[in-house]
Structure 1
Amino acid sequence: MSKQDLKPNHDLSTPSIELANGQVAVTGLPNAPMKQNFSILSIIAVGYNISNSWVAIAASFAIAIQSGGAVTLLYGIILVAAIMLCTGLTLAELASVYPTAGGQYHFTSILATSRWSRSLSYSSGLAAVFSWITLSASIALSSANVLMAIIIRWRPEYQPETWHYFLVYQAMNAVMVLYNIFLTNKTLWVYNLGFVLSISTFLAITITCPARSSIQLDSSHVWTQFANGSGGWPDGISFLTGLSTPQFMLSGLDATLHLAEECLQPERIVPKAVIVTVIVGFLTAFPFSVAIIYSYKDVELSLTAPTGFPIYFIWEKATHSPVAATIFMACMLTVSCIALNAVHQTSSRLTWSFARDEALFYSNKLASVSPTLGVPVYAILLDGLWVLLLGVVYVASSNAFNAFISTTVVVAQISYAIPSALLLYRRRSTDYLPSSRPFKLINSVGYIVNIVTIVWAVVLTVFFSFPTVLPATGGNMNYTSVVLVAMLVLGIVNWFAYARKHYHGPRLEL
């Protein structure tokens, strides 16, 4: 096999694979091991269901409010949406040329030099795998918090313990693992239902809360008053740490990339789905946040709500109806469960793809697809096991949810930044981005969005590892850095014990 760098063949009308030194160019995916049953609407629905931006804002509302109040939340949404649009454009352009379930780690393998192809694609792939596992943990814990908040509101005598939340979290995870194995492929309509329910609930909340609220707020207070509740951080750092709430609204942006081999014409459908996810995410998260902020005068007071769920408190105060607020919470819980199912599905497909390339221990099992169920059962079970183990972090720290969110977005952005940097290294050459690609950016715009993607990964890695409040204690510290180090250690051990000998870059069975 030649040692020179590969220049891929890009005839987008026919399937093509060229492999050299771990690099692969792919277009067209006939005879894929899983059914190609996603239409453009279905895959957009999956992408939206995973991000569910207004739900993500509602679930992580406390982080932004504590780190700057409405200013961090509202301006943060605008800033993050613009940056993640750049990231989305980067991913969409690459996906239009290389539509495979591996997504960013496949892109990395193609773009890297032969010397660095294996190690860089392995790093990108592992970062992506870990980001999806922690995203599953984030949504499972958020769903548990929603359910427990409803119980506490209607049974005020109930005294919840940490292990109660832990058990609900584990139950959420177990149910979705089983659903993914036995039912997901038979009930894809659930994603369409989740999309409709999410949009309907968003409209109901956005209209009802301001209409029912008797509060009159001064706009200058909303848009200019920075409420630093960090306990010691300067306003700038407090603002940056509080951006984990807006950033969470577009977590899982690469979801549709990893379902490319289950949809028709992925080189056209997947790029559209990525961009639509960002646009719809912003168009729901921003109006939702504005409506909530203008519905209650002292949003900082919601941080002390007995239920431990600030948005529930605000909904009840704004609507003057605990029943209405509880209905909103029930809808949010339903949408969150659908999102959790979608995340498990996408996460398992990425793990399956990574194992197919022999990057993980027991790859022969993890890369198998059940002939009767049509899903990668072992990959689903492994991801579920990791989510189960991450639950231990919650027992150790009350800020586990913050750590899961921060870890998710940090490692995800790193996985996006690696192929972005390599694309710049290749000077966006037509050898790697053929002029015939279905989704094309003006070259100058391409350079800008690639650079923004890389810079943002650095910003997130630094500031999302900071404690959100000072002084930091064992109970409230940000365990993001601990989780990141644990992931790094696991990745290094897996590399030297297995992947270094077996992983040779992306490989497809066509």
Structure 2
Amino acid sequence: MGIAASLAEICAVYPTAGGVYYWSAMLSTPKYRPIASWITGWLTLVGNWTVTLSIAFSTGQLFLSGVSIFQEDFVANTWQTVLMFWGVMAMCTGVNVFFSKHLNLLNTICMIWTAAAVIIIMVVLLATARHRNTAEYVFAHYDPTASGYPSGWSFFVGLLQAAYTLTGYGMVASLCEEVQNPEKEVPKAMVLSVFMAGLTGVAYLVPLLFVLPEVKAILSVANGQPIGMIFTTVTGSKAGGMGLLILVLVVALFAGTGALTAASRCTFAFARDGAIPGSRYWSQYNYKLNVPLNGLLLSSAICCLLGLIYFGSTAAFQSFVGVATICLSTSYGFPILVNILNRRVAVKNSSFSLGKFGYAINIATVTWIILSVVLFCMPVSIPVTAAGMNYASVVFMGFAGISVVWYAVRGRKTFNGPEEVVIDGESRSIDEEAGREKSRQ
């Protein structure tokens, strides 16, 4: 919530769909503007790629968990998992390529389907469950022994999944060019999105915890996706378990398609500014299909290649989630840090001002992001093996290395950051808008 509020305060001053990429440039001095937007842009780009990767990979695992509902001795091997993941990526890519004109309709259907799925799943589980846990178990039971970490550290490492599900609030800035009074409405939406996501999560998880089977049985599920087993056990029916799993699978496919859409647009925009190797090719737009086809295919290919990590680590999904959360969180933290270093001058007249608590909230936010980078690179459990290692740090540093090398080779000579920004429906240069804001201060 602190990160969302800090970004909302900045968004109220610079209501642009470019989000953190543009805010970092706007808040920086002309000298450091290119490097600030370069760092933020790469973090956002890799974050979008790995969000798509993590959603598609988990969806592939969900498909395979459906097989184990009817064949209890079925355990998917590494190749089967990777091939299923590639199949999901192919579906999401196909929808983006051939149905790009209908993406808004698909998003509407997704929202309706998701809301209906949550209600149906909760009603069915509560109605069919023969076993119910006590309120004490649901709200007070805490068992960190499975991780092997000390109790407190285990709690913080376990925050990864919650942090991952709440990383989308920065993307709300994309609405700035589509709503009236974006300097007021979008910051509110940014903060409310976190609140509503948390509320929805609690509404989904609490009933599920009341009917949850034995934790040992859940942890023993071979493919790491126990939701199918939970549905089958609680309903007492394989058909019922599969029916509920299908509801989740459709939601996951919608989410994967939407994530790839965002990743391809991010790739296209960043390539257009000359920040990616081969930018001239990746920034081409296919007007016949009405889609940035090359950027879309690049995003899909990178996700497919990163999926090969699963051959070396069965905890690959944890790595993908970790990289996505780290990259997006740090991309959000960068403009907040620049704002602090500038003594919050740019936001002193913000319509969504944090007031006298601004410094405290901003500093706490940046501190948490720094801590989370360490936390979310930690293995799921100890002792650590090569197969159980969390390779989030390896992926993160790999992309960081590519970014640094490309900046040294070409970026420092040609990259100037975003050239234009659209605010209040008017296209302005970054320097022009920065000058206007400085005069208002």
Q: What's the TM-score once normalised by structure 2's chain length?
A: 0.89
What stretches of structure 1 move > 6 A for 4+ residues in a row?
Answer: 262-265
Per-residue deviation at 1:99?
3.7
| 1:345-378 per-position Cα deviation (integer Å, ceiling 9, x unaligned) | 1112222222222222232333333333332222
Partners of 1:337 and 1:469 lie apart in 2 by: 29
> Aligned to 1:321, which of 237, 242, 246?
237
Contact 2:125/2:208 (<8 A) preserved: yes
Contact 2:138/2:206 (<8 A) preserved: no
Question: Does 1:200 pair with 2:116?
Answer: yes
1:130 alignment partner in structure 2: 46
| 1:460-490 per-position Cα deviation (integer Å, ceiling 9, x unaligned) | 1111111111111111111111111111111
Alignment of 1:474-493 (within 5 A): 474-493=386-405
Count of residues in correspondence between the two structures: 422
Contact 2:227/2:245 (<8 A) preserved: no
Per-residue deviation at 1:203?
1.4
Partners of 1:468 and 1:197 lie apart in 2 by: 32
SS of corresponding position for 2:379: coil
Partners of 1:283 and 1:142 lie apart in 2 by: 23
Contact 1:229/1:469 (<8 A) preserved: no
- Report which stretch shifted further, 367-376 or 237-246: 367-376
Partners of 1:249 and 1:320 lie apart in 2 by: 29
Per-residue deviation at 1:272?
4.2
Question: Does 1:119 pair with 2:35?
Answer: yes
From the superposition, tell whether residues 460 and 114 of structure 1 become closer, same or farther in structure 2 (CA, over 3 Å).
Answer: same
Aligned-partner residue type, residue 385 of structure 2: T
> Aligned to 1:96, which of 12, 24, 38?
12
Alignment of 1:455-466 (within 5 A): 455-466=367-378
Partners of 2:110 and 2:172 lie apart in 1 by: 16
- Report which stretch shifted further, 419-428 or 204-213: 204-213
2:303 alignment partner in structure 1: 387
SS of corresponding position for 1:253: helix
> Aligned to 1:275, which of 175, 179, 191?
191
Partners of 1:471 and 1:240 lie apart in 2 by: 18
Partners of 1:369 and 1:326 lie apart in 2 by: 41
Partners of 1:464 and 1:498 lie apart in 2 by: 32
Aligned-partner residue type, residue 107 of structure 1: W
Per-residue deviation at 1:251?
2.8
SS of corresponding position for 1:287: helix
| 1:417-446 per-position Cα deviation (integer Å, ceiling 9, x unaligned) | 1101111222322xx3373x6x51242243
Gaps of at least 5 residues in structure 1 are: 1-84
1:211 alignment partner in structure 2: 127
Cα root mean square deviation, aligned: 2.3
Contact 2:60/2:85 (<8 A) preserved: yes
Aligned-partner residue type, residue 323 of structure 1: A
Per-residue deviation at 1:323?
2.0
Aligned-partner residue type, residue 129 of structure 1: L
1:507 alignment partner in structure 2: 419
Alignment of 1:376-415 (within 5 A): 376-415=292-331
SS of corresponding position for 2:291: coil
Contact 2:34/2:416 (<8 A) preserved: yes
Per-residue deviation at 1:269?
5.3
> Aligned to 2:220, which of 278, 291, 304?
304
Alignment of 1:96-495 (within 5 A): 96-156=12-72, 158-258=74-174, 260=176, 267=183, 270-296=186-212, 298-305=214-221, 308-429=224-345, 432-433=346-347, 435=349, 439-495=351-407
From the superposition, tell whether residues 383 and 200 of structure 1 become closer, same or farther in structure 2 (CA, over 3 Å).
Answer: same
Per-residue deviation at 1:400?
0.3
Contact 1:141/1:401 (<8 A) preserved: yes
- Report which stretch shifted further, 138-147 or 342-351: 342-351
Partners of 2:295 and 2:179 lie apart in 1 by: 20
Gaps of at least 5 residues in structure 2 are: 422-426, 428-441
Task: Give % identity.
Answer: 26
Partners of 2:140 and 2:374 lie apart in 1 by: 26
Aligned-partner residue type, residue 385 of structure 1: A
From the superposition, tell whether residues 320 and 266 of structure 1 become closer, same or farther in structure 2 (CA, over 3 Å).
Answer: same
Per-residue deviation at 1:267?
4.5
Aligned-partner residue type, residue 117 of structure 2: T
1:497 alignment partner in structure 2: 409
Q: What's the TM-score once normalised by structure 1's chain length?
A: 0.77
Partners of 2:218 and 2:73 lie apart in 1 by: 20
